């Protein structure tokens, strides 16, 4: 392998969306006097609307819109479903940007900092640029640039998301490593010729997680327990 | 002013293209046994083809292509004009990437590092993403993300280049500061509602420079002698 750049899935792979969105909702609910909603359940229900919302774009039924827009539409549905009343548009915008305020897994910054010494590092996330930049500024993620759905105008696992990232870096897919905690993401990247690395995040979905506990050997080149081990395996 | 992000012109404002491209051509010419061409003249002649090449895209006569492509076409013209023979495609690609290997002005990294503590910092250059990323990795430019012509699919001074950068950051133009050593760039940004800062680069065009020696007060909000003074003026 002759790797020049590492691309990263972000939600679940770099950051812990479940704990962070729960925390954000709990703080928001307290500030607004919203009672009786389990914050973890709210985060999980919000996330459940993620793939269906992107599927509207992936299927061609809807022109590309950024994830902030999809997240906000999903949030509006949840606010209706839970019967939450009296929120201003600014309140909803603030809660929607909970996804800009996600905390990294404990090893993420140390691993990325090592990897950055040797490789170009960039997200290849379905999150939009503002979301990724605001998250990185808050959390200290040392990206070299922001790639992904907004620059490709296509949502993973569409081939174009991976291919546009490689093209924009001026690199052949074989010189780019896709890193994710999700085997389907890696399967899609591998099918476009990228190298792949699996990093297990066995608590992404909380206790009792049954999916993505280990690498799918049919599509994964490297498996590591965290980003620091990944850096070591790549000689960074 | 409520500035959240600073966008930077790059060629001439952050980096010294004239000295760097001259150095790159001199090294290339020596390695390839090319004699009798003044490296500074070669750099200046290459740069002279920059605006006409982008004008093909700006005018709509040609679909958007990245600057690496335009630079290479201009380089091919110069190779023909100077009668340089015997270069491989790989040789020409290497020389074309001279624009990826430009050195920053002496104050640039110190100033950007300070500005990054308080603001999002990103290039808003006509250079493409790979060019900007490779330049940043080599020179140590601490960008938060890469914006500009490739993400906007429009070359400055087209309004869309500035507006797409603001939109992708999720910010109103009034919350974004465009920084450049070129008054026409700032005039175009100001006309789209961005705040503007002029940093003089009186040696960009070598001795005897007559243009852009000082800020055009009709379109410039802040003038600074270098990036460190700009950081100080912005409280960063």
Give the three-state DSSP class for B8: strand
pLDDT of residue A178: 99
Task: Taking residues A179-195, report their average pLDDT.
Answer: 98
In chain A, what percentage of residues exceed pLDDT 90? Answer: 99
Task: Taking residues B44-49, report their average pLDDT.
Answer: 98
| Dist CA A20 CA B162 (whole Å) | 33
Closest residue by Cα to residue A28 from A77, A80, A101 = A101
Task: Taking residues A59-67, report their average pLDDT.
Answer: 98
pLDDT of residue A63: 98
Partner-chain residue, chosen from B128, B137, B170, that has the shortest CB–CB distance to A144: B137
> Measuring CA to CA, how many Å separate B174 from each of B6, B84, B97, B137, B168?
11, 49, 35, 30, 14
Burial track A204-230 (b if 16+ CB lie within 10 A, e otherwise): bbeeeeeebeebbeebbbbbbebbbeb
pLDDT of residue B29: 98
pLDDT of residue A47: 97
Give the three-state DSSP class for B123: strand
Centre a 10 Å sphere on the Cβ of residue A140 and count the other Cβ atoms it contains.
Answer: 12
Which pair of tokens denotes residue A226? 């965290």
pLDDT of residue A49: 98
pLDDT of residue B169: 98
Which pair of tokens denotes residue A66? 């950024």
Chain-chain contact of B129 with A145 (C-beta, under 8 angstroms): yes
pLDDT of residue B113: 98
Chain-chain contact of A169 with B68 (C-beta, under 8 angstroms): no
pLDDT tens digits along A87-96: 999 999 999 9
Which residue stretches of chain A are H helix?
17-32, 39-48, 50-58, 67-81, 89-96, 108-118, 129-139, 149-152, 159-168, 183-191, 227-233
Burial track A43-60 (b if 16+ CB lie within 10 A, e otherwise): bbbbbebbeebbeebbee
Q: Which residue has the tokens 């599927």?
A: A55
pLDDT tens digits along A94-146: 999 999 999 999 999 999 999 999 999 999 999 999 999 999 999 999 999 99
Is B145:A128 a contact under the CB 8 Å cutoff?
Answer: no
Closest residue by Cα to residue A195 from A226, A168, A171, A228 = A171
Mean pLDDT across chain A: 98
Shortest CA distance from B150: residue in chain A? A168
Task: Taking residues B15-26, report their average pLDDT.
Answer: 98
Centre a 10 Å sphere on the Cβ of residue A108 and count the other Cβ atoms it contains.
Answer: 23
B134 contacts on A by Cβ (under 8 Å): 170
Task: Taking residues B148-156, report their average pLDDT.
Answer: 98
pLDDT of residue A56: 97
Shortest CA distance from A129: residue in chain B? B168
pLDDT of residue B103: 98
Confidence tier at B181 by pLDDT (50, 70, 90): very high
pLDDT of residue B7: 99
Which pair of tokens denotes residue B16? 């010294």
């Amino acid at each position: 392998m002759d790797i020049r750049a590492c691309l990263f899935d972000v939600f679940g792979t770099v950051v812990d969306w479940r704990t962070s969105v729960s925390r954000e909702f709990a703080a928001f609910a307290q500030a607004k006097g919203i009672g009786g909603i389990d914050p973890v359940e709210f985060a999980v229900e919000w996330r459940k609307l993620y793939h269906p919302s992107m599927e509207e774009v992936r299927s061609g039924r809807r022109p590309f819109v950024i994830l902030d827009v999809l997240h906000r539409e999903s949030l509006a549905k949840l606010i209706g479903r839970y019967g939450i009343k009296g929120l201003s548009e600014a309140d909803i915008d603030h809660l929607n940007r909970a996804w800009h305020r996600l905390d990294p897994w404990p090893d993420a910054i140390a691993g990325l900092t090592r990897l950055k010494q040797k490789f170009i590092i960039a997200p290849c996330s379905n999150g939009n640029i503002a979301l990724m930049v605001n998250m990185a500024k808050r959390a200290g993620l040392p990206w070299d640039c922001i790639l992904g759905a907004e620059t490709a105008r296509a949502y993973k696992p569409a081939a174009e998301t991976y291919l546009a990232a490689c093209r924009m870096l001026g690199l052949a897919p074989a010189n780019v490593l896709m890193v994710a905690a999700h085997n389907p993401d890696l399967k899609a990247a591998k099918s476009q010729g990228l190298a792949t690395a699996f990093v297990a995040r066995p608590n992404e979905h909380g206790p009792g997680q049954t999916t993505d506990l280990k690498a799918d050997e049919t599509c994964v080149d490297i498996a590591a327990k965290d980003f620091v081990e990944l850096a070591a395996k790549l000689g960074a």
